[in-house]
Amino acid sequence: MNRKKDCNCNDGIQTVASNMSDRYPYANDPSAVLQNMDYKDWLVMGQERGENPESLLETKDGVNAAVAMVGTLMWTFGNPAFTGPLGGVICAFGLLIPILWPDTQEPQKQKVWEDLINHGDEFFDEKIGKAEKARAKTFIAGMKVVLENYEEALKKWKENKNAHHAATVQMEFNDAGDYFDKGLGDLQLEGYQQILLPCYAQAALLHLNLLSQGVQYANEWGKYNPGPTSEYWLEMLKRKDKKNPGRIQKYVDYCTDTYRAGLNKLKNAKGINWPIYNQYRTDMTLTVLDLVAFFPNYDVDRYPKGTRSELTREIYTPLSNPYMESKINIDEHENLLTRKPHLFTVLRRNTFYTEKRPSGYQSLAGIRNFSKYIHDNNVLEGDIHGIEQSTYMDWEMNWINSPIDEILVQRELKWDPATPSVRDVPDGIRRIHVKPVKPVSTEESEFITIYRTGGKDYPEEKVDHIKITKPESACQTNTQPCMPNISYSHILSYISMGRREKSSVNYPRFMYSFAWTHHSVDRHNTIAEDTITQIPAVKASGENPDFSVVKGPGHTGGDLVELSGKSEKGLVIKCSVPKAKNYRIRLRYAANKDTRVTVQVSGDNSHGLIPAKKTYDDNNYKGFSSFDHLDTNATVSCLNKRAVITIKNDLADTSILIDKIEFIPLD
User: What is the model's pLDDT at position 121?
Assistant: 84
Average pLDDT of the chain, as a whole number: 82
How remote is the C-alpha of 582 from its chain's centroid?
31
Q: Where are the alpha helices (DSSP H) in 122-192?
A: 130-159, 163-183
As a whole number of angstroms, the distance between CA 411 and CA 386 comes to 16
Q: Are 108 and 243 within one domain?
A: yes
75, 519 contact by CB (below 8 A): no
Backbone torsions φ then ψ of 560, nearest 5 degrees:
-125, 155
- Give the model confidence (pLDDT) of 20-42 as tens digits: 322 222 222 222 222 333 333 32
342, 493 contact by CB (below 8 A): no
Inside any domain, residue 506: yes
As a whole number of angstroms, the distance between CA 235 and CA 140 comes to 26
Report which residue type is found at 205. Answer: L
Backbone torsions φ then ψ of 395, nearest 5 degrees:
-125, 150
Residue 490's Cβ-count burial label (10 Å; 0-12, 13-18, 19+) is buried
Least confident of 78-87, 308-317, 386-395, 612-621: 386-395
- Find all residues with CB under 8 Å of 637, minimum gap 6, and list them: 577, 580, 581, 582, 583, 643
Strand bridging mode 532-536 / 307-308: parallel
Inside any domain, residue 65: no
- Statement: residue 2 has pLDDT above 90: no
As a whole number of angstroms, the distance between CA 414 and CA 507 comes to 7
Domain hosting 576: range is 532-665
Mean pLDDT of 66-72: 91
Q: Where are the alpha helices (DSSP H) in 478-572?
A: none
- Statement: residue 17 has pLDDT above 50: no
Q: What is the DSSP letter of 547?
A: S
Q: Report in angstroms the alpha-carbon separations of 608 from 597, 615, 635.
A: 8, 20, 12
User: What is the model's pLDDT at position 461?
Assistant: 77
User: What is the model's pLDDT at position 3?
Assistant: 37
**301, 328, 359: which is the final residue of a domain?**
301
133, 110 contact by CB (below 8 A): no
- Give the model confidence (pLDDT) of 269-302 as tens digits: 988 899 999 999 999 999 999 999 999 999 999 9
Q: Are 471 and 537 within one domain?
A: no
Longest dimension (CA), the chain: 86
**518, 547, 582: which is the final residue of a domain?**
518
Report which residue type is found at 536. Answer: P
Around Cβ 267, how many Cβ atoms within 10 Å? 15
Q: Are 289 and 316 within one domain?
A: no
- Give the model confidence (pLDDT) of 406-441 as tens digits: 899 999 887 666 666 656 777 889 899 988 876 555
Closest CA to 93 of 213, 246, 178, 180: 213
Inside any domain, residue 352: yes
Inside any domain, residue 139: yes
Inside any domain, residue 84: no
Closest CA to 470 of 449, 441, 450: 441
Residue 243 pLDDT level (bands cut at 50, 70, 90): confident
The full DSSP string for 231-289 is HHHHHHHH---SSS--HHHHHHHHHHHHHHHHHHHHHTSTT--HHHHHHHHHHHIIIII
355, 365 contact by CB (below 8 A): yes
Inside any domain, residue 2: no
**280, 301, 322: which is the final residue of a domain?**
301
What stretch of H or E contains 11?
Answer: helix 11-19
Inside any domain, residue 285: yes
Between residues 183 and 485, the one the model is more confident about = 183
Between residues 446 and 389, the one the model is more confident about = 446
Q: Are 335 and 209 within one domain?
A: no
Q: Are 270 and 336 within one domain?
A: no
- Report helix, strand or coil for 293: coil
- Give the model confidence (pLDDT) of 520-564 as tens digits: 999 999 999 889 999 999 999 987 778 999 999 999 999 999 998
Q: What is the DSSP letter of 36?
A: T
Backbone torsions φ then ψ of 7, nearest 5 degrees:
-165, 165
Q: Are 379 and 441 within one domain?
A: yes
As a whole number of angstroms, the distance between CA 320 and CA 497 comes to 12
Closest CA to 363 of 321, 421, 326, 316: 321
What stretch of H or E contains 396?
Answer: strand 391-398
403, 445 contact by CB (below 8 A): no
Backbone torsions φ then ψ of 108, nearest 5 degrees:
-70, -20
Closest CA to 344 of 497, 513, 498, 516: 516
Strand bridging mode 83-84 / 490-499: unpaired
Instruction: Please give the order of strands across the beta sheet that includes 642-649.
Output: 571-576, 642-649, 595-601, 607-612
As a whole number of angstroms, the distance between CA 170 and CA 168 comes to 5
Q: Are 501 and 568 within one domain?
A: no
Closest CA to 410 of 100, 17, 69: 17
- Give the model confidence (pLDDT) of 341-387 as tens digits: 999 999 988 888 888 877 777 889 899 999 999 988 888 999 999 88
The full DSSP string for 307-338 is EE-----EEEEEEP-HHHHHHS-HHHHHHHHS
User: What is the model's pLDDT at position 49?
Assistant: 24
Report which residue type is found at 321. Answer: N
Q: Are 435 and 289 within one domain?
A: no
Q: Are 256 and 343 within one domain?
A: no
As a whole number of angstroms, the distance between CA 133 and CA 111 comes to 14
User: What is the model's pLDDT at position 167?
Assistant: 97
Between residues 120 and 97, the one the model is more confident about = 97
Q: What is the DSSP letter of 436?
A: E
Look up the pTM and report it: 0.88
CATH number for the domain spanning 100: value is 1.20.190.10
CATH number for the domain spanning 540: value is 2.60.120.260
- Find all residues with CB under 8 Å of 20, minimum gap 6, and list them: 42, 46, 461, 463
- Report helix, strand or coil for 119: helix
- Statement: residue 589 has pLDDT above 80: yes
- Statement: residue 591 has pLDDT above 50: yes
Residue 158 pLDDT level (bands cut at 50, 70, 90): very high
- Report helix, strand or coil for 419: strand
Between residues 328 and 508, the one the model is more confident about = 328
Residue 188 pLDDT level (bands cut at 50, 70, 90): very high
Inside any domain, residue 125: yes
- Find all residues with CB under 8 Å of 306, minimum gap 6, and list them: 77, 78, 79, 80, 82, 83, 88, 89, 530, 531, 532
Q: Are 276 and 358 within one domain?
A: no
- Statement: residue 602 has pLDDT above 70: yes
What stretch of H or E contains 77?
Answer: helix 61-77
CATH number for the domain spanning 513: value is 2.100.10.10
Around Cβ 569, how many Cβ atoms within 10 Å? 13
Q: Are 630 and 482 within one domain?
A: no
SS3 content of the chain, % helix, strand, coil (to 5): 35, 25, 40
User: What is the model's pLDDT at position 320?
Assistant: 81
Strand bridging mode 490-499 / 448-452: unpaired
Q: Report in angstroms the alpha-carbon separations of 500 from 278, 336, 511.
A: 21, 11, 9
Sign of the torsion formed by the C-alpha atoms of 489, 491, 494 and 496: positive
The domain total for the chain is 4
Mean pLDDT of 445-453: 84
Q: Are 339 and 484 within one domain?
A: yes
- Report helix, strand or coil for 540: coil
Closest CA to 296 of 627, 653, 646: 627
Least confident of 275-289, 479-493, 622-636: 479-493
Backbone torsions φ then ψ of 397, nearest 5 degrees:
-125, 130
- Find all residues with CB under 8 Å of 565, minimum gap 6, and list them: 595, 649, 650, 651, 652, 653, 654, 655
Closest CA to 43 of 465, 331, 327, 460: 465
Which residues, listed in sequence order, are joined to residue 534 by a DSSP beta bridge?
662
